[in-house]
Amino acid sequence: MDNKSKDSKTYPVLSRVDVPDDIRKLNVNELKNLCDDIREFIVETISHTGGHLGAGLGAVELTVALHYVFDTPKDKLIWDVGHQGYPHKIITGRKEVFHTIRQLGGISGFLKPSESGYDTFGAGHASTAISAALGIATARDLSKEKYRVIAVVGDGAMTGGMAYEAMNNAGLQKRNLIVVLNDNNMSIGPNVWAVSNYFTELIAHPSYNRFKSNVWELTHKLDTLGDRIRKLASRVEEGLKVIITPGILFEALGFRYFGPVNGHNIPKLIKIFSDIKDLSGPILVHVITRKGKGYKPAEEDDQALHGVTPFDKTTGLSVKKEGAKPTYTEVFGESIVRLAKENPKIIGITAAMPEGTGLDKLRDEIPERFFDVGIAEQHAVTFAAGLAISGYVPVVAIYSTFLQRAFDQIVHDV
């Protein structure tokens, strides 16, 4: 049996999909089955190669819906970082070489424009997608071209200040730009879900937006009374948003907010993207997903299975050689705990990487002296400088590639 025949039996729908045009030929049930196939394909492959697991599993339906609704690669899809980009790679012509991911001579673990025309922008650091998307949207408008620009940003990236700098500027520019917030870290009650979903469907519906536009045009003919009507209507709509949706911050930055939307419901995702894709101005769609979705070990421990070495598919546990030496990360983590127990002035600081740096051990044993500041390397370093000048001994653990962001703080503040 050749590989093509084997794949058609193992992944019956995925075997028929190479590029997004193939997805647009599928019905809703086939799209759901495609998502199941993609998840199985990712788990099977990454269990052998290692890589980033949880974020991609959580973004499968979102990825499929985006490529189904938007005309990629003409419409520009920008992914923040790339951890959530594995499903995107699989359905944009790289399925057959996905097993080479992060291998010598293989495909990149991140989005890479030189690798595919579907990879609009390359990134390895978080919080950059909205800035890049705004730049692309500005270039589009200056060139008088017609296409949509969509940035997909994880909730982790929204702990980085650059994301808000970009949103603030986008709100001022008022360009047509869509930001999809892939939120896999939010707990929301069922009643809030129900009311919020209804309200989102209402304000996103084309009929509502046509009616609103017609009413606005009519009130412009009513002079002072028209101004009062518009102000009252806006206050009512904004008041409802404040009460029943969590998007007031984004509205304050100049974005129209839609959500939260169930990020694992294909029909709802297709509907919301279809409804908002031609609206004017900056739009934010808030999508709730579950990291590790569909693979039990990743759902139960999304941190441990964020970035992985080869692992046992049944248990989710890493495959380690017998007698393997401890890693540098393990040695550092254990050492910092030992030193912190001896010196009450030692403080551990990380920028959203407790497990990756080994500071999770300090977090678990002496939590009051552990600080995770989010994806904010600049703040982390100057925060440490403030502690140091006050007599404490801060230990800042940041990956070298991310520390580039804090060079100014190291030189100026430390």
Residues 66, 172: one domain? yes
Q: What is the pTM of this model?
A: 0.81
Residues 179, 262: one domain? yes
* Distance from C-alpha of 196 to C-alpha of 298, rounded to nearest angstrom: 28
**Pick from 279, 308, 337: which residue ends a domain?**
308
Residue 358 is assigned to a structural domain of this protein: yes
* Neighbour order of strands in the sheet with 393-397: 370-372, 346-350, 393-397
- Predicted pLDDT at 116: 94
Residues 64, 116: one domain? yes
Residues 236, 123: one domain? no
Residue 313 is assigned to a structural domain of this protein: no
Residues 377, 257: one domain? no
Residue 195 corresponds to which tokens in the numbers above?
């009311």
Residue 63 is assigned to a structural domain of this protein: yes
CB of 80 closer than 8 Å to CB of 129:
yes
Residues 299, 230: one domain? no
Cβ-proximal residues to 233 (8 Å cutoff; 6+ apart), any chain:
215
pLDDT in tens, 85-100: 999 999 999 999 999 9
Residue 117 corresponds to which tokens in the numbers above?
């025309």
SS3 29: helix
Residues 68, 155: one domain? yes
Residue 317 is assigned to a structural domain of this protein: no
What 8-state DSSP symbol labels residue 52?
Answer: E
Element (H, E) at 350: strand 346-350
Residues 112, 153: one domain? yes
Q: State the catalytic residues.
A: 291, 377, 405
* Distance from C-alpha of 191 to C-alpha of 196, rounded to nearest angstrom: 8
- Predicted pLDDT at 157: 85
pLDDT in tens, 215-259: 556 555 556 655 666 566 666 555 555 444 567 788 888 999 998
- Predicted pLDDT at 160: 86
**Which among 62, 82, 81 is positioned nearest to 70, based on CA atoms?**
62
Residue 321 is assigned to a structural domain of this protein: no
Write out the residue range of the structural domain in which residue 232 sits.
Answer: 213-240
Q: How many CA within 13 A on the CB side of residue 373?
A: 19
Residue 321's alpha-carbon distances to 52, 287, 356, in angstroms, are 21, 40, 20
Number of domains in the chain: 3
Element (H, E) at 23: helix 20-23
Lowest mean pLDDT among 37-46, 193-202, 394-403: 193-202
pLDDT at 5 over 50: no
pLDDT band at 184 (very low <50, low <70, confident <90, very high): confident
Residues 222, 95: one domain? no
- Cα of 363 vs its chain's centroid, Å: 25
